[in-house]
Amino acid sequence: MNRTLSYQIPAEDNNKTVVTFLKEQGFSRHILIDLKKTKNSILRDGIWLYFQDILHTGDTIFVSLIENTGSDGILPVDLPLTILYEDEDILVVNKPSGMPTHPSMDNYDNTLANAVLMYYKKQGIPFTFRCLNRLDRDTTGLTVIAKNALSSALLSSAIRTRQIHRSYLAIVSGITPESGTIDAPIARKDSSVIEREVNFSSGERAVTHFRRLAERNGLSLVLLTLETGRTHQIRVHLSYSGHPIAGDFLYGSELESLPGRFALHASRIRFRHPLTGEMIELTSPLPAPLAALLNAPTS
């Protein structure tokens, strides 16, 4: 995936070196190394610039990010792929249940990465898979993928500084309070490489806000927003609160009507585009099999 960016140098950046200017635009050390090794990667008036060249007010420079190879070891596979948004820098898809994000042991050809690489292979484009918000295998919803190294670096920084706002919908056991905050540290469980737990002695701080939207059939539909992004945070916190996610047997659900999935959905994301600054807001409705839990007739 190749991308060419243009920058017009403003007065406040007059007399800065090329490398200083690019660092201030969010170019990481890794990207800068690649640019340094690539002929004609930075041009002004058709002339290849070096890192220590001086920029002047009104200059226009063109920076080419070139990737001629894709992700090693990820097999392109023709799998369903629901695209909600795409431009030169970002791809946002609606991940289904039962699809891991990345390949792993026993999951070599059934992942979101496999599907995305096939999507670009059909276009003749080598693609490096860079997923910004990895969802668990059975969690559905909005997943953001960076299409080049710069958008990946800038979006990763936005996540660290909490500038990407995400909301989730979950159906949980029991009737929750109308709203609240769960502030409880999370650590890896000693007996498992996968499972996490609330641990006040060794855990990292984790904060989840929730609001109940509906309740029926002994279940609650809750809207969740995160202040932190710990592994399995929502699942652990809801289980800790006494309201595990429906179908999440790892964390204590007893509901048996959701074979092979649990009721957690990444429903909304809002962030500024890393390169244009445009505000992007996308939503995804609760999948029908999950909504049916609340709509089913009571016995």
Give me the amino acid identity at 59.
D
Burial 46-68 (b: 16+ CB within 10 A, else e): eeebeeeeebeeebebbbebebe
d(CA 273, CA 283): 16
* Residues contacting 80, CB < 8 A, separation 6+: 96, 115
What lies within 8 Å, CB to CB, of 235 at 6+ separation is 136, 196, 244, 245, 248, 250, 251, 262, 264
User: E strands within 174-238?
Assistant: 179-183, 186-188, 196-198, 207-216, 219-226
Residues classed as catalytic: 136
Cβ pair 74, 121 in contact under 8 A: no
Note the helical H segments in the chain.
18-24, 29-37, 112-121, 149-160, 233-240, 288-295
* Residue length of the chain: 299
How many CA atoms lie within 13 Å of 286's alpha carbon, on the beta-carbon side? 18
